[in-house]
Amino acid sequence: MSDTQKRPQSIQGGSLAERILKNGLLHSSILLLTAIWMLPVLGLLVNSFRPALEMSDSGWWTALAPPYTFTLENYFDVLFQTAGMGRSFLNSLLIAIPSTLMPILIAAFAAYAIAWLEFKGKIFIFIVIIGLLVVPLQMALVPLLKLYTTIDFNGTFHGIWLAHAAFGLPFSVYLLRNFFGNLPQEMFEAARVDGASHPQIFFRILLPTSGPGLGVLVIFQFLWVYNDLLLALVFLGGSPDVAPMPVTISNMLTSYGQNWEKLTSASFISMLLPLIIFLSLQQFFVRGITAGSIR
């Protein structure tokens, strides 16, 4: 995505009055749209700092005028008192980190083979993988649940790691094969001429060079697993001590009317990690999505 073409900034042409009007319209409409977009998040943020009783009596915007009654008690409650929230966050990490590493490494192996090695059936394998991109997870849930119950993988971390690893494969292989395929052939050939074995090429040349591409995939996969609810419910559901944050929070949500104050701060805490990751790396996101989707 090269920005070498200069886009017309703002509107050109027409009389001065016309331009001012159009520019004004442009800026105000996009700013308004963005403000409206952010409004829901702002509401949550403000509410999370308000005492429980107030939250059920008045809207969050009333807190922005004096008297100010902000409080940190919701956050304290959730972090230190409510059994489970801190544990929940730990679970989320314990689930997400391996579930990110595994599919990406395994997918990288497969993508390496598809992109750089010649073999019969290469096209077929790749088509199968593209086909799988679209298959709904639901197709696999019932039998996997039964299988897991039989071999006692239910409610275990390794059970859900493997599930996430498998379900993350199609997208990872698809994306990585694109990246690897775009790397210069000469680099690969020079290494072969120098007598490097394939594993050496993979670990010493390919992986380091694909840094940005891998980085994007890592972020995507991590966020997807971290925010996942369905798989966590199916494979970990019912065991509160291994429940990740989405499960814990949705349990809190379904108890109508109670725990609302904890819900706000719990939700915001669960949002913090993805937000930080996203805000600090947002350029990669943009590059990542577009690299994979635009042919």
Partner 1 sequence: MDLGMIGIGIVAVIGVPLVLMAYSFGTETLISRLPDVTSERMRPWIWLAPALILIVVFYLYPTLRTLLFSFQNADSTAFVGLANYVSIFTDPDMLSTIGNNVLWLVLFVMGTVMFGIIIAILADRVSYENVIKSLIFLPMAISFVAAGVIWRFMYEYQPLGFAQTGTVNALISVLTGDDFEPIPFLQNRSINNIALIIVGIWMWTGFCMVIFSAALKSIPNDWLEAARIDGATEWKVLWYIIVPSIRTTIVVVATTMTINVLKIFDIVYTMTNGNVGTNVIALRMYHEMFQFNHFGRASAIAVFLLVLVIPIMVFNIRNFQADR
Residues 168-197 that bind partner 1 (CB under 8 A): 169, 173, 197
Rg (CA), the chain: 25
Candidates 55, 78, 218, 236; binder of partner 1 (CB under 8 A) is 55
Interacting residue with partner 1 among 78, 102, 160, 175 (CB under 8 A): 102
* Stretch near partner 1 under the rule CB under 8 A, chosen from 76-84, 139-147, 183-191, 209-217: 139-147
The only residue of 52, 79, 145, 191 in contact with partner 1, by rule CB under 8 A: 145
Copy the structure tokens of residue 148: 């897991």
Q: Which stretch binds partner 1 (CB under 8 A): 68-76, 179-187, 209-217, 247-255?
A: 247-255
> Whose Cβ is closer to partner 1: residue 215's or residue 274's?
274
Half-sphere exposure of 65 (CA within 13 A, CB side): 4
Instruction: Work out whether 17 is an interface residue with partner 1 (CB under 8 A).
Output: no
Report if residue 38 touches partner 1, rule: CB under 8 A. yes
**Whole-number Å distance between alpha carbons of 11 and 212:** 35
Q: Work out whether 166 is an interface residue with partner 1 (CB under 8 A).
A: yes
143 part of the interface to partner 1, by CB under 8 A:
yes
The helix (H) or strand (E) run that includes residue 145 is helix 138-150
State both tokens at 272. 């913090």
Asked if residue 289 binds partner 1 (CB under 8 A), the reply is yes
d(CA 232, CA 30): 38
- Give the contact letters, 108-137, x = binds to partner 1 (CB under 8 A), - = no: -xx-xxx--xxx--x--x-xxxxxxxxxxx
Selected range binding partner 1 among 64-72, 186-194, 209-217, 241-249, rule: CB under 8 A? 241-249
- Which CB, 20 or 133, lies closer to partner 1? 133
Question: b/e per residue, 242-257, with b = 16+ CB within 10 A?
Answer: bbbbbbbbebbeeeee
**How many C-beta atoms lie closer than 10 Å to residue 223's C-beta?**
17
Contact status: 94 vs partner 1 (CB under 8 A): yes
Q: What backbone phi and psi angles, to 5 degrees, belong to 80?
A: -110, -25
Alpha-carbon gap, residue 167 to 234, rounded angstroms = 14
